Amino acid sequence: MCGIVGYLGRKEAFSILIEALKKLEYRGYDSAGVAIWNRGKIEIIRQKGKVDDLKKLASNKDIKGTMGIAHTRWATHGIPSERNAHPHRAGEVVVVHNGIIENYVELKQRLRNEGRRFSSDTDTEVIPHLINSYVEKGHNFVDAVRLAICELKGSYALGIIKEKERVMIAAKKESPLIIGVVDGESIIASDIPAILDITNKVIFLEDNDIAIFNEEGFRIIDTMGNAVERKIHTINWTSAMAQKGGYKHFMLKEIFEQPVAITNTLTGRVKEDKGEIELDNLKLPNLEKIKKIWMVACGTSYHACLIGKYIFESNLRIPVEVDIASEFRYRDPIIGKDNMLILVSQSGETADTIAAMKEGKKRDSFVLSICNVLGSTLARDADGVVFTHAGPEIGVASTKAFTTQITVLFMLMLFMAKKMGIFTTGQLKEKIGELRRIPHKIQEVLNNAKHIEEIARKYMTYKDFLYIGRGINYPSVMEGALKLKEISYIHAEAYAAGEMKHGPIALIDENFPVVVLSPYDITYQKTCSNIEEVLARRGKVLLFTDTSGHEMVERVESVFVMPKTIYELEPIISAIPLQLLAYYIANLLGTDVDQPRNLAKSVTVE
């Protein structure tokens, strides 16, 4: 997804902007560009490809200037190309944009009728033209921006500069944009890692905010021109935390960070001695009146919701309906004030999940979000929020976000169960105790990562994989298969193990490895029968079981043994070897693990 940065200060802007853009590479992009202001003139360089290619291109030019804006583009309107890359210019005005302008066709037509000429296929290009049209009518720069954005429908995070004036403007609606607060310098960015080398003091701009930067500092106004105040937050992530920290890829680093990520998510919240959970002063509605819980999300976060359904229904006995966010509102969901809507998202900026939140609010449901990013839209606009303290997740493939989401869902279930008087204090203590042991159990799996690398080496050349599991292990294999396909580009399909004989079994032969997830739980014996069915057809089985699951160990081709835990927490443990299997296969195949082709970290378009 697009990333924008902007700088105004005393230092050379180009290198600052390039470094900041590199920290946004995790968002996924296909082209990059930068505009530098120097003594009233603006020079733009942009091209298809990576930020390093842009740097190379610029090395032949003498780009000097202490103010500029820059962009990484993920194509939505118009193919990835130099002409569609940002920044876009019209007259004196130069713009970078993240988001989508929904009414760009009619605006473009109107601006064309005024004789303005367009040079790209993007929706964005209407923005500099619109601002420039107001400048030409005699409005000052700030008013021109304000009047122009009042005409935009859709989403935008904008960085804007203009020739002749040493002023930078930022504006935001439904796309993330932050200000790094530093003395004597101004920096804007789409996300925190881009500014952490410069400052850890951050303002999260809100919808319809316009920030104006000059030599003296900055001020924020709304679209009517009224001054607005925004709080400064201190971010505890260090710049090093957002870097690879010695690992070959962010994804591997993030897999290995899971014991710490889960410990951080539990810290200050689980009171084992009292059998209590405290969740950041979360105020829930009267649970007696909640007839149904909805869990809605996309991708990996959707898989966390499917696991959440097992955790909630088996303990709270409240029906849980899980939906994919991009489907939810199109089926006119039966949701109202006696329902609770739980939205799960790492970024808190996924457009479909935000749209689902709006739908739930419109229908008077209590909306709770589970997010990893402080200040994100879902965190700000929900009625309640519980953060997963996973730290920045840079790899496009979600790993530690997933396991911390399950951790929060489990804590939330305990929190609600306590309110509903479902468990005795002894039962609560027991469940909390097991939750606290999870980071150690994950560490045990990580200590055996080499074994999974060996398994990966054995199977890396296969073109298709089937993943099967039963009960709570079924969403876990859906997640395992998603991991493999998104980073290795190998076809992987997940099935409920019992469904295999209703169709997919026809595919089984010696060229079709089957990953079976079967800890020794209520589903174990039945899954053993499915393993037999695969073996009878000369299929290769990679079995992931736990220390009690002995039955099939000698019969299958490859086995990985996980530590034992309670049923509801099995998905946290089993996520780790499945993430590692996908990682090692992709790494051995040499794919771009952290930025897989065609994918974006944060999907901010519907």
Which two tokens mark 204?
């999260």
State the nearest-atom distance from the C-beta of 587 to ligand M6R, in Å: 16
State the nearest-atom distance from the C-beta of 604 to ligand M6R, in Å: 9
| Comparison of 301 and 545: residue with beta carbon closer to ligand M6R | 301
Q: Is residue 404 a contact partner of residue 410, using CB atoms and an 8 Å limit?
A: no
| Comparison of 181 and 397: residue with beta carbon closer to ligand M6R | 397
Instruction: Tell me which of 2, 298, 371, 528 is the catalytic residue.
Output: 2
- Residues 372-401 touching ligand M6R, rule: CB under 6 A, are 396-398
**Reduced to 3 DSSP states, what percent helix, strand and coil does the chain have, rounded to the nearest 5?**
40, 25, 35
Cα separation values, 265 from 41, 81, 277, 391, 572, Å: 49, 42, 12, 10, 13
Strands laid side by side in the 558-562 sheet: 491-496, 464-469, 514-517, 541-546, 558-562
Q: Is 353 in the site for ligand M6R (CB under 6 A)?
A: yes
Q: Is 299 in the site for ligand M6R (CB under 6 A)?
A: yes
Cis peptide before 571 (omega within 30 of 0): no
Residue labelled with tokens 């439904």:
174
d(CA 266, CA 65): 47
| Comparison of 526 and 597: residue with beta carbon closer to ligand M6R | 597
Binding segment (CB under 6 A) for ligand M6R, from list 78-86, 293-301, 461-469, 553-561: 293-301
The one-letter code for the residue type at 569 is L
Select from 155, 190, 265, 347 the one that contacts ligand M6R (CB under 6 A): 347
d(CA 553, CA 558): 8
State the nearest-atom distance from the C-beta of 17 to ligand M6R, in Å: 25
Q: Is 602 in the site for ligand M6R (CB under 6 A)?
A: yes
Q: Is 403 in the site for ligand M6R (CB under 6 A)?
A: no
Q: Is residue 174 a contact partner of residue 354, using CB atoms and an 8 Å limit?
A: yes
| Comparison of 265 and 350: residue with beta carbon closer to ligand M6R | 350
Q: Is 568 in the site for ligand M6R (CB under 6 A)?
A: no
d(CA 179, CA 189): 7
Question: Could you say which DSSP state residue 553 is in?
Answer: T
Interface pattern 405-434 for ligand M6R (x via CB under 6 A):
------------------------------
463 is catalytic: no
State the nearest-atom distance from the C-beta of 372 to ligand M6R, in Å: 8
Half-sphere exposure of 153 (CA within 13 A, CB side): 7
Residue labelled with tokens 């998104």:
486
| Comparison of 68 and 391: residue with beta carbon closer to ligand M6R | 391
State the nearest-atom distance from the C-beta of 494 to ligand M6R, in Å: 14
Q: Is residue 123 a contact partner of residue 104, using CB atoms and an 8 Å limit?
A: yes
Residue labelled with tokens 């993430």:
579
Interface pattern 582-601 for ligand M6R (x via CB under 6 A):
-----------------x--
Q: How many CB atoms lie within 10 A of CB 410?
A: 27
Q: Is 300 in the site for ligand M6R (CB under 6 A)?
A: yes
Q: What are phi and psi of 447, to 5 degrees?
A: -65, -20
Cα separation values, 440 from 127, 359, 517, Å: 52, 40, 21
| Comparison of 402 and 410: residue with beta carbon closer to ligand M6R | 402
- Residues 454-493 touching ligand M6R, rule: CB under 6 A, are 482, 486
Residue labelled with tokens 């309110």:
419
State the nearest-atom distance from the C-beta of 596 to ligand M6R, in Å: 8
The one-letter code for the residue type at 538 is R
State the nearest-atom distance from the C-beta of 371 to ligand M6R, in Å: 8
- Residues 83-142 touching ligand M6R, rule: CB under 6 A, are none
172 is catalytic: no
Which two tokens mark 534?
């695969």
The one-letter code for the residue type at 101 is I
Select from 132, 155, 190, 301 the one that contacts ligand M6R (CB under 6 A): 301
| Comparison of 52 and 606: residue with beta carbon closer to ligand M6R | 606
Q: Is 357 in the site for ligand M6R (CB under 6 A)?
A: no
Closest residue by beta carbon to ligand M6R = 299
| Comparison of 8 and 325: residue with beta carbon closer to ligand M6R | 325
**Which residues lie across from 445 on neighbouring strands?**
none
Nearest to 572 by CA among 443, 427, 417: 443
Q: Is 194 in the site for ligand M6R (CB under 6 A)?
A: no
State the nearest-atom distance from the C-beta of 532 to ligand M6R, in Å: 32
Question: Could you say which DSSP state residue 354 is in?
Answer: H
Catalytic residues: 2, 601
Binding site for ligand M6R (CB under 6 A): 298-301, 345-347, 350, 353, 396-398, 482, 486, 599, 602-603
